[in-house]
Structure 1
């Protein structure tokens, strides 16, 4: 039995912590929302009264938080209270620079640090089918492998600390671009009189096929945008991508366009919808509303 402190029980963190509890680990959980903690305690987790209590004397400390500032705040307490030798895994999507900072500061305190952002959205978290992009060293990755096996389906060490966040940025770049182009393809077929449903079925079976087409073509045609991953969060991720590209001096003209479309979706009031709601932006540009 492994002892784990888990901080951040949102739509992703809650199911992930639940899988660890069900796998037989001794999990202490903490979140600002008491209802989220209560839900995990019914599964067998222990509710922590503070971050300090949650992370003290644990084999692993895990965070799944919305943004850099949340990770920075929580990690400051982890530095103070976690035991030497604790493996710290951050599943949050943040900037590579912040991930590198957690490593630099963690090593000073004797922590073993991995940045491990995930892809797969809420369904992936619920079904333990996440893709996990890990930055760190080989020995720490091997130690953490049982954790990754419990919450994910695909995981790999993609480079040193910070590299996991770089690969996650690349993932979000491709995902956003795919949604934007799929939205335009749907409108093109509908406007020119083709059967868009059958057309997308054909596309899904050919070179244009993708996981997004497999999972989202039906709901996009229905204009059903219940969030699996919200526009607001993808907007945050596109900011990370633009900043990283500027730092690396890599031009991303297509990515910049997608970032503007996602920003437009937020400005239109669609921030709480799934990122497939980029279709609504394409419709607005075409002079059409759902």
Structure 2
């Protein structure tokens, strides 16, 4: 059993923390009073808003927060209270350069650190089958493996600190591009009068099949965009891709195009919707939206 302080009990964080508890770890959720606090209590987690107290006795501190400033702030507050030998695991999706800076300037060498962003959405978090891409030392990765195994199925060490965030950025550009192309295929099929469920069945069984097509199928067929992963967060992630690519002098034209579509949805007030709502915009651009 590992003592874990889990900071960030949102759509993804809460089921991840619950799965850690189910696997026998001692988990304390760090959350302010409010909806997330009530949800954590309902799920049977121990919760507190006293971050220093929660992290001071923890073997592992996990952050699962929306953006880079949130992670930086939480770890700045937490680090002075960590015991030597503790391990910080940031499972948020943030800027890889910032991850390296946090390791160099905030988290001391006496404390281990891994960056371990995840993919799989809310469903993957609930089912404990997330893909977890881990950056940091192999020693710390090995120590954290039992923790990761409670939350994920595909768990891979991808390089030194920051490498997890680089791989997650690549994951996010592939996901956004895939969703957009499926959205355009759905609009094309509908315009031609094809049986959409049957068409997606046969497409899904061939080379064009994908996890996006499988997982987002209900949203595409029902035009239901309850957030599993919000467009606002995907816009943030694509911004990380563009900034990192620009720093490396890379040109990613298709990434730029889908980023603009995602940002357009966010700008008009749809940032709270699931990223499958790229279909909503695609249909509207073709005079078929409601």
Range of TM-score over shorter length: over 0.9
Say if 1:180 and 1:279, in contact at 8 Å, map to a contact too: yes
1:270-285 equivalence runs, <5 A: 270-285=270-285
Identify the residue that residue 86 of structure 1 maps to in structure 2.
Answer: 86
Shift of 1:34: 4.1
Shift of 1:43: 5.2
Identify the residue that residue 199 of structure 1 maps to in structure 2.
Answer: 199
Shift of 1:41: 4.3
Shift of 1:217: 2.1
Q: Quick one: distance in 1 between partners of 2:197 and 2:49?
A: 51
1:64 maps to 2:64: yes
Say if 1:133 and 1:158, in contact at 8 Å, map to a contact too: yes
1:21 maps to 2:21: yes
Give SS of 2:6's match: strand
Q: Quick one: distance in 2 between partners of 1:106 and 1:58?
A: 18
Give SS of 2:288's match: coil
29-38 vs 148-157, greater mean Cα deviation: 29-38
Say if 1:136 and 1:159, in contact at 8 Å, map to a contact too: yes
42-51 vs 23-32, greater mean Cα deviation: 42-51
Give SS of 1:6's match: strand
Say if 2:281 and 2:289, in contact at 8 Å, map to a contact too: no
**Following TM superposition, where does structure 1 have runs of at least 4 consecutive aligned residues deviating by more than 6 angstroms?**
none
Say if 1:51 and 1:78, in contact at 8 Å, map to a contact too: yes
Any stretches of 5+ residues in structure 2 without a counterpart?
A: none
Taking a change above 3 Å as real, the CA distance of residues 209 and 45 of structure 1, as seen in their structure-2 partners, is same
Say if 2:229 and 2:274, in contact at 8 Å, map to a contact too: yes
Shift of 1:42: 5.4
Identify the residue that residue 166 of structure 1 maps to in structure 2.
Answer: 166
Give SS of 2:269's match: coil
Identify the residue that residue 96 of structure 1 maps to in structure 2.
Answer: 96
Give aligned pairs, total: 290
1:1-290 equivalence runs, <5 A: 1-41=1-41, 45-106=45-106, 108-290=108-290
Q: Quick one: distance in 2 between partners of 1:215 and 1:121?
A: 9
Give SS of 2:189's match: helix
Give SS of 2:28's match: strand
Superposition CA RMSD, Å? 1.5
Shift of 1:50: 1.5
Shift of 1:289: 1.2
Provide the TM-score with structure 2 as the length reference: 0.95
Say if 1:227 and 1:273, in contact at 8 Å, map to a contact too: yes
Shift of 1:142: 0.2
Say if 2:173 and 2:238, in contact at 8 Å, map to a contact too: yes
Say if 1:79 and 1:109, in contact at 8 Å, map to a contact too: no
Q: 1:89-118, CA deviations, whole angstroms, 9 ceiling, x for partnerless residues?
A: 011000001111222135535110000000
Say if 2:3 and 2:58, in contact at 8 Å, map to a contact too: yes
